[in-house]
């Protein structure tokens, strides 16, 4: 339509399901910088030729699907792109990985790399060690492997520890490191940290490796996410949790530039710990932590008053806040009037406590019978309160971190990923809907 009217399309970012839907009009998007697709179909040499001809400014490609039957063609697609074409690349890999890893290395100007390994861990990770200009590196493993495969990768990681460390150290410009379900790589990360200058560090499943916690204090981060997982009995996360917690507190207190802190660990934060963080990290905007079991909810809210710039709060653990005291706290802090509004998530709230002082509704659904709940739903940008009784292991979203991000913060990270997540299911089994197993909804309001 724009072509018929003589208009020039200045689109810079495009998200679609299939390349075939984009191909007929690709010549009109010469200013396109980012292309996000769900499926691999038709991404081959001919597609690379079209991009080379018509999309000279394209610097970022994201593809969600992992399909071994298409991986050879996709590797050809990446190989045929000019070596200086891409600055950012994001894709998923299944069983077959080597052809694509070889192709990725040909992109000599790559600065951002995101790889999701679906079934098989990356035994060929060494193929990427030539990429030393990376500013952002994300490696994630979506599913738990068999015990045999897990043991094999653990041995590989131990044998390759120094090489992985040297690779990370060689990336002098690295500012963002994101590892999801790769606890066996954490020792190498710990060795590299003193030589890095990160702004963002996101480690889901630290393996409870204590040297890593000690190395944290070498960083001046703006974003820190730590999650501890049980690793199916291979690691006991309750062992030395006090020592790990003290190391984290020491490191966080030395990061005054921190803006986003998410601690999904077995070490809880009590009032004194929150006070300590608030005094030393005065401009924190996002906070997620596990509350101390049995601690008075009023004390917790009082300690949170020290965070004058907070715009997103998630309290994990079995919380016992009441809607009235939350509303009073929001009103007293005027946090709902801060730029961008305020987000509150309580994934494991006690329902009886929420309706303290009034008769709870017959069914736990977002209710207008409670004036405080109704007001919170009106003034907050994001409100997610779920009842999980007493079942909380420290991180109930271990299986799919992506759902955790959507449910607790409302942010889907990236166009293609966001497209897949907000549908509620992925293009391939066994992905589940976003609302699967969240618990009983007590209060829910969102503006995505």
DSSP per residue over 285-320, as a string?
Answer: -EEEEEBPTT--HHHHHHHHTT-TT--EEEEESSB-
Query: In angstroms, rounded to a whole number, what is the distance separating the alpha carbons of residues 6 and 283?
Result: 49
Residue by residue, pLDDT tens for the chain (448 residues) are: 345 555 565 789 898 889 999 999 998 899 999 999 988 999 999 999 999 999 999 999 999 888 899 999 999 999 999 999 999 999 989 888 999 999 999 999 999 999 989 889 999 999 999 999 999 999 988 767 788 898 999 999 999 999 999 999 999 999 999 998 899 999 999 999 999 999 999 998 899 999 999 999 999 999 999 988 776 556 778 889 899 999 999 999 999 999 999 998 888 999 999 999 999 999 999 999 999 888 899 999 999 999 999 999 999 888 999 999 999 999 999 999 999 899 999 988 888 899 986 654 444 444 557 899 999 999 998 898 988 755 555 444 544 555 566 556 566 555 555 555 444 334 433 334 444 556 778 888 865 4
CB 207 within 8 A of CB 183: yes
Cα Rg for the chain, rounded, in angstroms? Answer: 23
Query: In angstroms, rounded to a whole number, what is the distance separating the alpha carbons of residues 433 and 420?
Result: 10
CB 108 within 8 A of CB 83: yes
Identify the CA nearest to 183 among candidates 210, 162, 163: 210
């Amino acid at each position: 339509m724009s072509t018929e009217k003589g208009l020039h399309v200045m689109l810079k970012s495009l998200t679609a399901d299939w390349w075939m839907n984009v191909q007929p009009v690709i010549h009109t998007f010469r200013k396109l910088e980012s292309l996000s697709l769900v499926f691999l179909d038709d991404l081959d040499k001919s597609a690379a030729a079209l991009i080379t001809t018509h999309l000279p400014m394209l610097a970022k490609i994201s593809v969600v699907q992992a399909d071994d039957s298409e991986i050879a063609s996709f590797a050809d697609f990446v190989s045929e792109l000019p070596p200086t074409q891409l600055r950012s690349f994001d894709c998923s890999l299944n069983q077959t990985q080597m052809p694509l890893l070889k192709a990725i290395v040909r992109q000599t100007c790559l600065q951002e790399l995101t790889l999701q390994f679906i079934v098989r861990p990356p035994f060929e990770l060494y193929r990427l060690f030539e990429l030393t200009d990376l500013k952002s590196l994300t490696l994630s493993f979506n599913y738990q492997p068999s015990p045999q495969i897990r043991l094999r990768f653990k041995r590989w990681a131990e044998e390759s520890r120094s090489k992985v460390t040297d690779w990370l150290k060689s990336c002098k410009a690295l500012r963002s490191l994101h590892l999801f379900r790769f606890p066996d790589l954490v020792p190498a990360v710990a060795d590299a940290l003193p030589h890095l200058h990160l702004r963002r560090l996101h480690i889901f499943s630290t393996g409870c490796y204590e040297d890593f916690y000690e190395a944290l204090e070498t960083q001046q981060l703006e974003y820190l996410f730590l999650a501890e997982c049980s690793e199916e009995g291979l690691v006991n996360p309750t062992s030395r949790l006090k020592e790990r917690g003290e190391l984290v507190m020491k490191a966080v207190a030395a990061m005054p530039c921190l803006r986003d802190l998410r601690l999904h660990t077995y070490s809880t934060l009590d009032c004194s710990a929150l006070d300590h963080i608030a005094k030393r990290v005065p401009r924190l905007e996002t906070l997620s932590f596990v509350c101390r079991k049995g601690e008075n909810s009023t004390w917790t809210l009082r300690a949170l008053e020290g965070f004058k710039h907070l715009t997103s709060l998630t309290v994990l653990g079995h919380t016992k806040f009441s809607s009235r005291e939350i509303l009073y706290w929001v009103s007293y802090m005027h946090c709902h009037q801060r730029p961008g509004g305020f987000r509150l998530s309580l994934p494991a709230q006690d329902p009886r406590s929420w309706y303290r002082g009034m008769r709870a509704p017959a069914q736990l659904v977002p209710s207008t019978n409670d004036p405080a709940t109704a007001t919170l739903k009106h003034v907050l940008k994001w409100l997610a309160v779920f009842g999980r009784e007493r079942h909380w292991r420290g991180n109930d979203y271990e299986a799919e971190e992506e759902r955790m991000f959507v449910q607790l913060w409302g942010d889907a990270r990236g166009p293609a990923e966001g497209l897949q997540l907000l549908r509620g299911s992925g293009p391939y089994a066994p992905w589940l809907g976003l609302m699967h197993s969240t618990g009983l909804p007590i209060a829910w309001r969102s503006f995505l």
